[in-house]
Structure 1
Amino acid sequence: MNKLVLITGGSRGIGAGLAAAFADAGYQVAITYCHNKSGADSLASRWGDRVAAFALDQSNPESINQCVTDIETHFKRPVEVLINNAAIAQEKPFGEITADDFSLMMNTNLRGPFLLAQTCIPAMREHKFGRIINISSIGGQWGGFNQVHYAAAKAGLINLSQSIAKIYSAEGIRANTIAIGLVATDMTAGELNTPAGQKKAAAIPVGRLGTVDDIARIALFLASKDSDYISGQTINANGGMYFG
């Protein structure tokens, strides 16, 4: 495949599954971590020189610029596929979400992906090829209950994909969103262990939780030339929970 993909939050969960799938498909893979350096380095070591891990605090614009520079220096090429996967979550009743909670959520889950896309797009334009895949959530489509700020940020990601698609599709860049439902990861474990979460899981029409492999297969398709006529779209990977 010989293309470079940047997968944020690649040390565990969906990000680790994406990293494995893209490495096995022949991509060069840059994964990022914020705190879990040992986990990211351990994952990267499985594929030798093909995968490398880089520090990134995507709530910090300076960290974003440094990370992309480090990646391009290490691989000696620009990022051709950007997967904005890294995110934080916080369960809090609406009335208890503070201004600082809201700002951190937006800076990490929405401004960070925006700045990463803004940083990577110039090289994509120069080479007339680019793929931007934003990992959103069903919460960004039907709203949140105890994660209103998280849902709002994920809704913004959907619009970010649409906006990038409108501006840059004519230059060979495709931007799309994968809106995931309930996927079995560390991040969702808390919710799935609650009565409300178990009720939601039992109501999934396909009869099971999503897996990281389900998401990885969709991402591989959207990163490929086979998806060339798809841009600005939201792929609902939720087992039939939501049809919008």
Structure 2
Amino acid sequence: MPESPPHILVTGATRGIGAAILEALSARGARVIGHGTRATPGILAADLSESGAGDGLWEAALAALDGRIDVLINNAGVFEAISVEAPDAEWQASWTRTLQINLQASADLCRRMVLHAQGREPDAGGLRGRIVNVASRAAYRGDSPAHWHYAASKAGMVAMTKSIARGYAGQGLAAFAICPGYVMTGMAQDYLASRGGDKLLADIPLGRVAQPGEVASVATYLALDAPASMTGAVLDVNGASFVR
């Protein structure tokens, strides 16, 4: 990994946490390409609900970043309810969509990052590449009865991150995960309103949900500053609503 400004791909970068990450990294001088559902300057379009979309996004990002990606940040995700009483076809379609976007697409991109990093020259810290996966506290404490699939996808993301860290540390690849609780994004605001916001906030000792910039500051640290020995770390950003 060169000492020149790092080249970084951020998925789900058009709003909320992803947009805050993109802004924070750009402020640090990184060369960042984002991903969203529509193409705009600095944003590549990809529908990660489609099989193989992660691979296509990787190739497009690699071309946009002159053939070099130093850091991958998987942030794209969906949080969509499905009742256990839903018709079988709807239940299965919801699980398929959530796992495809939240886990499979992230796995495909992680695989590409692993292969890309192999054989590269290490940076001063001995790293050839970094992966930062934005998971959720739901990976550890579960979620609502309508969000089994979301919790399962995020638990899979954490397990995947740890597996990558253990499997490829010796090859100079570091992998980290972040587990936010509620974050003040449109998605979280809708959920808080539907579940009774005051009651849910009472479960957060800090007394408020996190701001996107707080999560972005953690992602930026992991992407640019965390030492190689931190590989495999999972950092919580949840106001002490779930401690491990």
Q: Secondary structure at the match of 1:199?
A: helix
Could you tell me how far apart the structure 2 residues matched to 1:9 and 1:124 are? 22
The match for 1:19 is 22
Once the two structures are TM-superposed, the CA of residue 195 in structure 1 deviates from its matched residue by 4.3
**1:77-108, Cα deviation, whole Å (9 max, x unpaired):** 32111111001111233333611111111111
What TM-score, normalized to structure 1? 0.89
Once the two structures are TM-superposed, the CA of residue 207 in structure 1 deviates from its matched residue by 2.0
Say which structure, 1 or 2, has more relative contact order (CA 8 Å, 6+ apart): 2
Once the two structures are TM-superposed, the CA of residue 54 in structure 1 deviates from its matched residue by 0.6
Higher helix share: 1
* Structure 2 segments unaligned to the other structure (5+ residues): 123-127
What TM-score, normalized to structure 2? 0.89
The match for 2:111 is 118
Listed as ranges, the matches of 1:1-244 within 5 Å are 2-34=5-37, 36-37=38-39, 41=40, 44=41, 52-96=42-86, 98-127=91-120, 128=122, 129-145=128-144, 146-244=146-244
Cα 1:226/1:100, change in 2 over 3 Å: closer
Could you tell me how far apart the structure 2 residues matched to 1:134 and 1:75 are? 20
Once the two structures are TM-superposed, the CA of residue 126 in structure 1 deviates from its matched residue by 2.2
Could you tell me how far apart the structure 2 residues matched to 1:125 and 1:225 are? 21
Once the two structures are TM-superposed, the CA of residue 63 in structure 1 deviates from its matched residue by 2.5
Once the two structures are TM-superposed, the CA of residue 152 in structure 1 deviates from its matched residue by 0.6
| Equivalent residues of 2:82, 2:94 under 8 A apart | no
Could you tell me how far apart the structure 2 residues matched to 1:20 and 1:110 are? 24
Once the two structures are TM-superposed, the CA of residue 219 in structure 1 deviates from its matched residue by 0.8
| Equivalent residues of 2:83, 2:91 under 8 A apart | no
Cα-Cα RMSD: 1.6
Once the two structures are TM-superposed, the CA of residue 204 in structure 1 deviates from its matched residue by 1.1
Could you tell me how far apart the structure 2 residues matched to 1:184 and 1:235 are? 18
Once the two structures are TM-superposed, the CA of residue 172 in structure 1 deviates from its matched residue by 1.3
Once the two structures are TM-superposed, the CA of residue 12 in structure 1 deviates from its matched residue by 0.7
Q: Which moved more, 1:63-72 or 1:139-148?
A: 63-72
Cα 1:134/1:31, change in 2 over 3 Å: same
| Equivalent residues of 1:179, 1:235 under 8 A apart | yes
Cα 1:189/1:22, change in 2 over 3 Å: same
The match for 1:47 is none
Once the two structures are TM-superposed, the CA of residue 190 in structure 1 deviates from its matched residue by 1.2
Cα 1:56/1:83, change in 2 over 3 Å: same
Cα 1:122/1:14, change in 2 over 3 Å: same
The match for 2:125 is none
Cα 1:75/1:182, change in 2 over 3 Å: same
Q: Percent identity?
A: 27
| Equivalent residues of 1:94, 1:148 under 8 A apart | no
Cα 1:60/1:195, change in 2 over 3 Å: closer
* Structure 1 segments unaligned to the other structure (5+ residues): 45-51
Once the two structures are TM-superposed, the CA of residue 58 in structure 1 deviates from its matched residue by 2.0
**1:130-180, Cα deviation, whole Å (9 max, x unpaired):** 111111111111112221111110110000000101111111111111000
Could you tell me how far apart the structure 2 residues matched to 1:79 and 1:162 are? 21
Could you tell me how far apart the structure 1 residues matched to 2:197 and 2:66 are? 45
